[in-house]
């Protein structure tokens, strides 16, 4: 199975999912825009309508879309409509790109629960999956390839103290 989330900086959100039993692979890329094969520099500079996104490939016998969605919600700022942490602009805003009506239903239910609990509007676009383009190779598993730089990015971004 696979699912697609846009959670701001794809470097920053990727490691969260490797901690979940059943996640086989997390790929960094771009989703939601109309441009074919966008480049990182163009997405980062808001020159496309894509968001930085991840594709999570998982074993549905070991984990579920709901569990992955819960992890996603717990690792982003649900109420920020301008991006995530220090990363600003449309390409860093939140989205769930659903593959079927069940994923859509689970996502909308989760949003309603959070909004009812927090009495605030959750700023996540819930949209049908349209496309996914892999980011350049150096972005894949960046946290493993560049441990020191990744840790600095997490602190600089405000995601980690």
Catalytic residues: 9
Residues 148-153: contacts with CB under 8 Å, at least 24 apart? 150/11, 153/9, 153/11, 153/12
Please identify which residue in the block is written with the tokens 């409509």.
81
- Among the residues of the chain, which ranges form H helices? 10-18, 40-44, 65-73, 101-118, 142-145, 147-157
Please state whether beta strands 94-98 and 124-128 pair in parallel, antiparallel, or not at all (unpaired). parallel
Q: Is 32 helix (H, G, I), strand (E, B) or coil?
A: coil
């Amino acid at each position: 199975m696979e699912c697609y989330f846009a959670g701001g900086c794809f470097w920053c959100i990727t490691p969260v999912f490797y901690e979940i039993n059943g996640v086989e692979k997390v790929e960094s890329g771009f989703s939601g825009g109309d441009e074919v094969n966008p480049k990182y520099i163009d997405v980062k500079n808001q020159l496309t309508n894509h968001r930085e996104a991840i594709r999570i490939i998982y074993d549905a016998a070991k984990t579920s879309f709901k569990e992955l969605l819960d992890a996603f919600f717990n690792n982003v700022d649900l109420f920020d409509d301008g991006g995530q942490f220090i990363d600003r602009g449309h390409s860093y805003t939140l989205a769930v790109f659903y593959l079927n009506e069940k994923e859509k239903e689970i996502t909308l239910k989760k949003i309603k629960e959070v909004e009812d609990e927090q009495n605030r509007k959750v700023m996540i676009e819930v949209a049908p999956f349209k496309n996914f383009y892999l980011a350049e190779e150096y972005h894949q598993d960046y946290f493993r390839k560049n441990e020191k730089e990744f840790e600095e990015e997490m602190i600089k971004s405000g995601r980690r103290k």
